[in-house]
Structure 1
Amino acid sequence: MSQEYKLKDISSLASVSPYEKREVEVEGIEDGKVLLLNHDGQVHALSPRCTHYGAPLKNGVVTPDGRLTCPWHGACFKISSGDVEDAPALNALNKFDVFEKNGAVYIRATENDIKSGQRDPVLKCAASKAEEKVVVIGGGSGTISTVQTLRELKYPGSITIISTESDYVIDRTKLSKALIPDASKILWRPKEWYEQASIDKVVDEVTSVDFKNKSVSTKSGTKFPYTKLVLATGGIPRNLPLPGFKELGNIFTLRTVEDVQKILGALGDSKRKVVVIGSSFIGMEVGNALRSKEHDVTIVGMENAPMERVMGADVGRIFQRNLEKNGVVFKLSASVEKATPSDDGKTVGAVHLKDGSVLQADVVVLGVGVRPATDFLGDAIKLEKDGSVATDSHFLIPESEDVFAIGDIATFPYNGPGGNGAPVRIEHWNVAQNSGRAVAKAIVHAQRAPVRSASVKQFIPIFWSALGAQLRYCGNTVNGFDDVVLRQPEETKFTAFYTKGETVVAVATMGMDPVMSKCAELMRGGKMVSKKEVKDGVDVLQVGV
């Protein structure tokens, strides 16, 4: 039951200035804290930590339209309620009544709510008898956000997830960063959560979709009818079509928990020689994680600097130096020729480069990108050249008013800075999650009207990576960039502004929280500073959103 708790070191709500975020202790609760925030003349009391990875929200960004954005990964909450507004958070913040009494400030709460710092926004849902049926194909971040938001918005129909992965949705970002082999440690939601929300999960492989008759067929021979269908099948890691790579063992891609288990099983308990092919974010994260386990790691990349095309050479070399300090070796401007076997003739023994170099290898991990997992669609709809599915800004496919595509398989119009509505496919965790939220809103708000009339809020893509230090990135270079304005180019601290003409189209940071989150909000509101302002030394943290 709720009771009154006094807040320490504050006697008046008037002492909290407009837009101030103040973390205060709660008397009588060990380690109990709340965040006081003055927005639009009213002081609100919220849980003080982001529900995603626990970032201190006192360092977050407050916007005039009542959003509180996490300083680390861009998760956003509604100040008036604590509800989730943007990915990657799934749980809402707890919101507390706050008031003055006898010359002190109090909140009304339960001890558990203060300590937990978050709440599951989904209420229990009885099994539905409604005619509406949503089927979601896939088991990633787009899926969890779609089904959760549907139930948040009290969608009355049945919800079925069809996925080839036996586990419920995991935090896939931790696979490459930490090589966690136990799915139970990285589940976003336990099995019981899906059961309480009346969300069915089927482990099966979708083989075809009948768009005319609105049904999905699977490998087991089962058919699933739908009234709304969400395609969220993600990506398939690419292999190398080179001699040895298909035939030899101990050559792996990384996408699932099972992949992590196989990699760690091949490594065993001894120190091994590992070759990572691809200086992508996945490749570098895996390489860094394996080096931390004392293995000898060499990363092979085709560019002059890691991620040069996406991040620029100067920033790429910062990544490289960070990993080299950890003992990772790089072979750059390199092309792979073939893989040859070890003495057993079955497993990989070496990777050969076109310059004649030979890299001894007990294990090889491929980080050469993914392709859209759309093979099951066959000729049912026209795919883009890269195999993705074209959608409109509501993530609807052109062929149907009832089918959406999100995540790694979706090509959609991007209207962030420099985007100008150009079609883009973005393989970011938070893009899939936010598009899933948007699709759920479109479904619920348009059950008896064309879904194309549903409004959807533009979001700014965000991603993060662990490369010796925490990288944060917002925006997108869909139309390229012609310059990078780099501030404080140190190994673990910098801000990089990617510009196209005078427009800042993307921002990357290390050790500069919450600059990235502030820039994302500026971009979202159309108030991002110009290249000239950046070069003149403007402090984006002081720019109003």
Structure 2
Amino acid sequence: MAQEYKIKGLSALDLKNGEKREVEVEGIENGKVLLARVGGTTHAMSSNCTHYGAPLKLGVLTPEGRLTCAWHGACFNVGTGDVEDAPALDPLAKFDVYEKSGAVYIKGEEATIKASRRNPNVKCAAQGQEKVVVVGGGSGAMGAVQALREQGFKGGITIISKEPNLPIDRTKLSKALIADKSKVEWRSQEWFDSASIATVSDEVNSIDFKSKSVSTKSGKSYTYTKLILASGGTPKALPLPGFKELSNIFLLRTIPDVQAILEAVGEKKGKNVVIIGSSFIGMEVANALSSNNTVTVVGMEEAPLERVMGSEVGKIFQKLISKNGVKFHMGASVDSAKASSDDGSKVGSVSLKDGTSLPADLVVLGVGVTPATEYLQENGALQLEKDGSVKTKETFEVEGQPGVYAIGDIATYPYHGPGGNGSLTRIEHWNVAQNAGRSVAASIAKPHVAPKAFIPVFWSAMGSQLRYCGNTPNGWDDMVLQGQPDEAKFAAFYGKGETVVAVASMQMDPVMSQSAELMRRSKMPSLSELRNGKSVLDVGLPSEVKI
């Protein structure tokens, strides 16, 4: 039952518009709430982000009441507490706040104040003829099905995923190598049951778009009125001698993949680990395995992540992870995998084309993913792009297929963020998939409401947390670096001409979140202004949004 609680050290609601303040609640151990004033009204809400618990006092508050977390870009509406943008799934708790007898009080339940969140309203008894089928069980699927229920969709919902688990926080696999599904599943089976969302562990092998039915390998068929394709990506293997024949060579996409890697490492560790690929998966796995193992990263670029971030920033990441003992062979090409002298069935070394031989008790491949769309090629069911992806409209509806949507790693869609100009692009980011799922849910549940645009955001764990927003579908030709790069404390602004199209930062919060909001409004400073020392944190946030 809601009770009245006094706020420590506050005698009046004297916040200015746009101001936010974390305050303590009397009578509740470690009880805190956040006060934020927008449009002349002071709101009280949970003090921490419901994603990974970041303090929201460090976030970015806009004039229309969007509150964006500084860590991973989760965004909330301060008026309702509802989620505006991924990756948060739970909304903020809201509390009545008022002045009385020279003090400030809130009204709420102790458990809710401590939890710093509230449960989304998804309980439903499915009814009617509408049936949504979701192919895939990743971030996009989770964002779609929860948003469908939150937005009042009462029809049937079925998730079909070939993974042996419920939808998971896949980011924890490469960043922390967590193999316990109970620690990475977003929701329990009871949650899905209460929302009347059926979860099926099976693999889709074909879709009949004329009869609106989905067929699986087990021989079952599921009819739909709306279809969401969210099957994600398939990690690339290396078509080189030894990589197909030898064991202890791993891809990383699923919980079983992590379990196999950890089994190969063993409890005693002390293994020689070779990581092939110096992009995000490779760098994260190298960082995660660096403790008590000898880890070597092999990359074709001159610096890690050079293609995305440039060599100057890539060398910052390399230096950072090298402090953990990780070794690098950059500008290198792999020739083959050789068998172990002790066990001819297992890998024993990796040979590079320059003649270098790297001892390897296990190898992890991080050389990219391809869209998992094999099932869409059956009988020419759908015309795919050259890379195997599905072309969609801005609403993520598939071209030529009304009521069919594609999201996440398989979707190529028109990008209208800075520098995009509607360019067709495919973005393999967790946040993009989940936000696209939320957008599709809005199109289905409220078809007369235009989907809300969002700026792509991602993060990576490489000793320190990397934050990134924007996208470079047409590349970038210049970069401005602010901060102290030698200390891995920096903000990198990537420009196409004078337009900033992407921002990467480390230890410079909330630069990324502020930049994402400025991008939404087409108010980012120019590259020249940033080069001359202008800070995005000093730029005001007007209420209008232009994308």
Fold-level match, TM-score > 0.5? yes
Equivalent residue number for residue 87 of structure 1: 86
Contact 1:381/1:399 (<8 A) preserved: no
Equivalent residue number for residue 522 of structure 1: 518
| Match status 1:200 vs 2:198 | yes
| Match status 1:383 vs 2:384 | yes
Equivalent residue number for residue 459 of structure 2: 464
For structure 1, list consecutive stretches of 5 or more residues without a partner in the other structure. 447-452
Equivalent residue number for residue 10 of structure 2: 10
**1:90-146, Cα deviation, whole Å (9 max, x unpaired):** 0000000101111111111111111111012133212x2310000000010000010
Contact 1:468/1:492 (<8 A) preserved: no
SS of residue in 2 equivalent to 1:243: coil
Contact 1:321/1:491 (<8 A) preserved: no
Partner amino acid for 2:122? L
Partner amino acid for 1:502? E
Contact 1:374/1:387 (<8 A) preserved: yes
Partner amino acid for 1:4? E
**1:196-215, Cα deviation, whole Å (9 max, x unpaired):** 00100011110100001100
Whole-angstrom CA distance in 2 between matches of 1:382 and 1:226? 20
With structure 2 as the length reference, what TM-score do the two structures score? 0.97
**1:395-451, Cα deviation, whole Å (9 max, x unpaired):** 0001211100000000000000000000000000000000000000000112xxxxx
SS of residue in 1 equivalent to 2:29: coil
SS of residue in 2 equivalent to 1:398: coil
Contact 1:285/1:466 (<8 A) preserved: yes
Whole-angstrom CA distance in 1 between matches of 2:23 and 2:374? 53
SS of residue in 2 equivalent to 1:430: helix
SS of residue in 2 equivalent to 1:490: helix
Partner amino acid for 1:476? N
Equivalent residue number for residue 414 of structure 1: 415
How many positions carry a matched residue from both structures?
A: 536
SS of residue in 1 equivalent to 2:428: coil
Q: Structure 1 residue 454: deviation in Å?
A: 4.5
Whole-angstrom CA distance in 1 between matches of 2:446 and 2:82? 18
Whole-angstrom CA distance in 2 between matches of 1:490 and 1:212? 59
Partner amino acid for 1:70? C
SS of residue in 1 equivalent to 2:518: helix
SS of residue in 2 equivalent to 1:99: strand
Q: Structure 1 residue 538: deviation in Å?
A: 1.0
Equivalent residue number for residue 437 of structure 1: 438
Equivalent residue number for residue 70 of structure 2: 71
**Aligned structure 1 segments of 4 or more residues deviating by more than 2 angstroms:** none
Q: How does 1:346-425 map to 2 (within 5 A)?
A: 346-378=345-377, 379-425=380-426
Whole-angstrom CA distance in 1 between matches of 2:166 and 2:398? 26
Equivalent residue number for residue 281 of structure 1: 280
**1:207-263, Cα deviation, whole Å (9 max, x unpaired):** 100001100000011110000000000000000000100000000000011001001
Contact 1:319/1:491 (<8 A) preserved: no
Whole-angstrom CA distance in 2 between matches of 1:234 and 1:143? 10
Whole-angstrom CA distance in 2 between matches of 1:335 and 1:491? 30
Q: How does 1:1-80 map to 2 (within 5 A)?
A: 1-13=1-13, 15-80=14-79
SS of residue in 2 equivalent to 1:423: strand
**1:353-372, Cα deviation, whole Å (9 max, x unpaired):** 01111111010000000000
Q: Structure 1 residue 529: deviation in Å?
A: 1.0
**1:18-68, Cα deviation, whole Å (9 max, x unpaired):** 111101100111100110111111100010100001111111111122200
SS of residue in 2 equivalent to 1:221: coil
**1:263-296, Cα deviation, whole Å (9 max, x unpaired):** 111121331101000001100100111112x110
Whole-angstrom CA distance in 1 between matches of 2:430 and 2:150? 20
| Match status 1:540 vs 2:539 | no
Contact 2:122/2:146 (<8 A) preserved: no
Identify the match of residue 507 of structure 1 among 503, 523, 527.
503
Cα RMSD of the aligned pairs, angstroms, is: 0.8
Partner amino acid for 1:409? I
| Match status 1:531 vs 2:520 | no
Whole-angstrom CA distance in 1 between matches of 2:376 and 2:442? 25
Equivalent residue number for residue 96 of structure 1: 95
Equivalent residue number for residue 449 of structure 1: none
Contact 2:38/2:64 (<8 A) preserved: no
Contact 1:283/1:367 (<8 A) preserved: yes
Partner amino acid for 1:150? L
Partner amino acid for 2:64? D
Whole-angstrom CA distance in 1 between matches of 2:466 and 2:53? 17
**1:164-193, Cα deviation, whole Å (9 max, x unpaired):** 011111111011111111010111111110
Contact 1:122/1:148 (<8 A) preserved: no
Equivalent residue number for residue 322 of structure 2: 324
Partner amino acid for 1:510? M
Partner amino acid for 1:256? T
Equivalent residue number for residue 220 of structure 2: 222
Equivalent residue number for residue 146 of structure 1: 144
For structure 2, list consecutive stretches of 5 or more residues without a partner in the other structure. 542-547
Q: How does 1:160-179 map to 2 (within 5 A)?
A: 160-179=158-177
Contact 2:439/2:452 (<8 A) preserved: yes
Q: Structure 1 residue 156: deviation in Å?
A: 1.1
Whole-angstrom CA distance in 1 between matches of 2:122 and 2:205? 33
Partner amino acid for 2:75? C
Equivalent residue number for residue 234 of structure 1: 232
With structure 1 as the length reference, what TM-score do the two structures score? 0.97
Partner amino acid for 1:185? K
Contact 1:135/1:159 (<8 A) preserved: yes
| Match status 1:313 vs 2:311 | yes
